[in-house]
A and B are shown apart, each in its own frame.
Chain A
Amino acid sequence: MPGDPSLSIIPRDPKFRGLRDYMISFFGLDRPQWEQFVIYLQRLFTLDWGLSYQDHRPVADILLHDLGWTLLLVGTSTILTVLIGIAIGAYSAIRRGKPFDFVSTGIGIFLYGMPIFWLGLVLQSAFRKNSVFQGWIPWWPALPTSGYYDDRLIPWNWDILHVADAFLHLLLPALTLSLGTLAGISLVMRNSLIDVMTEDFVTTARAKGLSPRQVLRRHILPNGMPPMVSLIALDIAFILGGAYQVEVIFRYQGIGFRTIEAIGSLDYPLLQFIIVIGGAAVVIANLLADFLLLWLDPRIKIS
């Protein structure tokens, strides 16, 4: 294992020698690695997630707090993304080969290739106080670019002031994450719908005298949704990856922000738990997706 985590807890100073030895044995760092691993596994299953090397609080406590904020960020932007992405994808599928399709697909592929951290930096620079744009355009807004809510409002209270401020702080991170993932969703939606549009039952629907809008809503969308749902579920890992970058850029102290900090200080109990949470999130997302699919597509049976 590279690095000596104990150094991040206690300075390498002879004065602290005794304390350091105590800490090392307390965290079990003196035992062989495989034994540490076995102990870790054992604790994993007994829901004893260990203590953070850094501030000695239980890992689970720290991360559950962070998780709330990450979920707020990821949830908001996923909902935004899915709604807008589906709308754009559906519209460009109908207008296949027309200017709207061309432009939106082009912009989509372009955004798709944009590193989220960079997009975040650019948006941050564009909307911070005294940004370049404010010099040019008088009404250019300035938005909060760091934290969950204003430091002066700490501690958190459930009142309108806090909620409104938290919302303002959420805007830029959520926008960044949405823009970063929007393209993927709308492109897939477009292709999935184009696939459906070539199916015979769509011609049947048109032959029934339904208007294009009715055909879309009643026949194309319901058939285009199932593949979308599985794809979004698969994309959760990708969205989480994006969330990590956004959290770092906007100092939005969720799981991602914590990860980078934990890496800096080699806080392994925290890191390991983070991976477990990441995996769990994906598993849960996929489970939810499966239930949704069961409901959306009668051909799928529980087997």
Chain B
Amino acid sequence: MAALLEVRDLTIEFTTKAGIVHAVEGASFDVERGEALGLAGESGCGKTTTALALMRLLPYNGRIVRGSISFAGRSLVPLEEASMRAIRWKEMSIVFQGAMNSLNPVQRVGRQIAEPIILHEDADSDVALKRAGDLLELVGISRNRLNDYPHEFSGGMRQRVMIAMALACDPKLVIADEPVTALDVMIQAQILDLLERLRRELDLAMILISHDLSVLADTCEQVTIMYAGKTMESGKTMDLFTDPKHPYTQGLVGAFPDIRGPRNMPEAIPGDVPSLISPPSGCVFHPRCKFAFDRCSNAEPELSELAPGRRAACFLYPEVTEVPGRSMPIATR
């Protein structure tokens, strides 16, 4: 059976006065039913843009120029707006980056949670509000607070409200865009636990977006690493973290200090994310890559399969369509 979500060669551009921003180029990934995919990468690498494109919610100056999104057997890119609206929230919902501003400040949270239920399930408002109460309790908030306004909640609680809202119509897929970024560490852990528990209980598929690899480590089966709009590496979470192949992934993994280890300063990747209006030639990462050689600035490496389920886009790994079990070429450390 095909995966729940199959994204192939997704390419997104923004038209701006300064030129065309190549925000995402050739993104390809699958999300299986009930499985979690992590999307990681530095700020500005196109994670949110990808998420918005999946729901076809790109801002007016952005468009999908090529590629396909197939969700539960339907192709979303050519779908007309009305059918897309029927899918939004009913089958695929999203928790946006920064819950502070994702709730309407002048509407009671109960009504906000109930809104999609009324819209998609033709429920009357009493039923929907009762469901909203159940959902609040599911995320650990008393149903007495249905009539409160967003500003009466703390940041962590607002994020819970958002999560409750995302689950309102029993979606098949929940996209969580940096769900814990603005929160303190304790609350982060709580929210992540909550997400993890709900995912198991409700058998949800999930896309978890974060620039913080440690957030993804415990939650996701699969991880895709993005850089400057391009997919650098993807594979099983454990494999990818213990044995990162792509120099960028190595840098990212290295950037996270091990709490138990000696207190070294994280080994930052030197340089900045390049301009997406005129990206560097060849491999987009080569200006910052310590292994870069001539070829890297001339040609663009394909995302090639290094082992089943494990892919990377780097010339350090000659395109070996490998027999399972054979050892990989090792990055010269």
A-B contact sample (12 more), CB < 8 A, given A209-B87, A209-B116: A200-B98, A203-B52, A203-B57, A204-B94, A204-B104, A207-B55, A207-B93, A208-B116, A209-B85, A223-B106, A298-B151, A299-B105
Within 8 A of A (CB), among B92-144: 93-94, 96-98, 101-107, 115-116, 119-120
Interface on chain A toward B: helix, strand, loop, or mixed SS?
helix
A-B contact pairs, 15 of them (CB 8 A): A200-B96, A201-B105, A204-B103, A205-B104, A207-B57, A207-B94, A208-B93, A209-B85, A209-B120, A210-B115, A222-B106, A223-B106, A298-B106, A299-B106, A299-B149
CA gap between A104 and B230 in the complex, in Å: 42
Tell me the A residues contacting B by CB distance below 8 Å: 199-201, 203-211, 214, 218-219, 222-223, 226, 296-299
Residues of chain A lying within 8 A (CB to CB) of residue B102: 200-201, 203-204
- Contact-residue size bin, chain B (C-beta under 8 Å from the other chain): 20 to 34
Residues of chain B lying within 8 A (CB to CB) of residue A226: 106
The A-B contact count (CB < 8 A) is: 72
Interface: B245 (CB within 8 A): no
CA gap between A133 and B94 in the complex, in Å: 60
Q: What residue in chain B is nearest A299 (Cβ atoms)? A: B151
Tell me the B residues contacting A by CB distance below 8 Å: 52, 55, 57, 85-90, 93-94, 96-98, 101-107, 115-116, 119-120, 149, 151
- The minimal Cβ–Cβ distance linking B229 to chain A, given in whole angstroms, is 20
- The minimal Cβ–Cβ distance linking B284 to chain A, given in whole angstroms, is 28
Interface contact B96-A204, CB-CB below 8 Å:
yes
Contact check: which of A203, A211, A222 meets B85 at CB < 8 Å? A211
CA gap between A214 and B88 in the complex, in Å: 14
Interface contact A207-B89, CB-CB below 8 Å:
yes
Interface contact B96-A203, CB-CB below 8 Å:
yes
Residues of chain B lying within 8 A (CB to CB) of residue A210: 85, 115, 119
CA gap between A261 and B190 in the complex, in Å: 73
Interface contact A296-B96, CB-CB below 8 Å:
no
Contact check: which of A208, A222, A223, A298 meets B119 at CB < 8 Å? A208
Interface contact B104-A208, CB-CB below 8 Å:
no
CA gap between A240 and B106 in the complex, in Å: 31
Contact check: which of B88, B94, B103, B107 meets A222 at CB < 8 Å? B107
Central interface residue in A218, A222, A298, by most chain B CB within 10 Å? A298
Residues of chain B lying within 8 A (CB to CB) of residue A219: 104, 107
Interface contact B89-A201, CB-CB below 8 Å:
no
Residues of chain A lying within 8 A (CB to CB) of residue B149: 298-299
- The minimal Cβ–Cβ distance linking B81 to chain A, given in whole angstroms, is 9
- The minimal Cβ–Cβ distance linking B138 to chain A, given in whole angstroms, is 18
Q: What residue in chain B is nearest A219 (Cβ atoms)? A: B104
CA gap between A299 and B107 in the complex, in Å: 10
CA gap between A207 and B151 in the complex, in Å: 21
Given contacts A207-B88, A208-B88, A209-B90, contact A201 B116 (CB under 8 A): no
